[in-house]
Chain A
Amino acid sequence: MIPLSYYLILSAVLFTVGVIGVLVRRNAIVIFMSIELMLNAVNLSFVAISRHLDSLDGQIFVFFVMTVAAAEVAVGLAIIINLFRNKETVNVDEINIMKW
Chain B
Amino acid sequence: MTVTGFFFFSIAAVVLISAILVVVLRNPVHSALSLVLTFFSLAGLYILLNAQFIAAIQVIVYAGAIMVLFLFVIMLLNLDKEKRVGEKHPLQKAFGIAIAVFLLVALGSIVAAGVLYGNKGIHTDAKVSAIGNTKAIASLLFTDWVLPFEIASILLLAAIVGAIVLSKKEL
Q: Which residues of A are at the interface with B, using a C-beta cutoff of 8 A?
A: 1-2, 4-10, 12-21, 23-27, 29-30, 32-34, 36-37, 40, 43-44, 47-57, 59-60, 62-64, 66-75, 77-82, 84, 90-91, 93
Q: Is B54 touching A47 in the complex (CB atoms < 8 A)?
A: yes
**Which B residues contact A (CB, under 8 angstroms)?**
4-5, 8, 12, 15-16, 19-20, 22-23, 28, 31-32, 35, 38-39, 42, 45-46, 48-51, 53-54, 57-58, 61-62, 65-66, 69-70, 73-74, 76-77, 79, 82-83, 85, 87-89, 92-93, 95-97, 99-101, 103-104, 107-108, 111-112, 114, 116, 118-125, 128, 136-137, 140-141, 145, 148, 152, 155-156, 158-160, 162-163, 166-167
CB-nearest residue of chain B to A67: B152
Bound Cα distance A24, B89 (Å): 10
The reply to whether A48 and B49 contact each other, CB–CB distance below 8 Å, is: yes
**Within 8 Å CB of B66, what residues of A?**
36, 69-70, 73
Pairwise interchain contact A5-B76, C-beta atoms closer than 8 A: no
B61–A70 touching, CB < 8 Å: yes
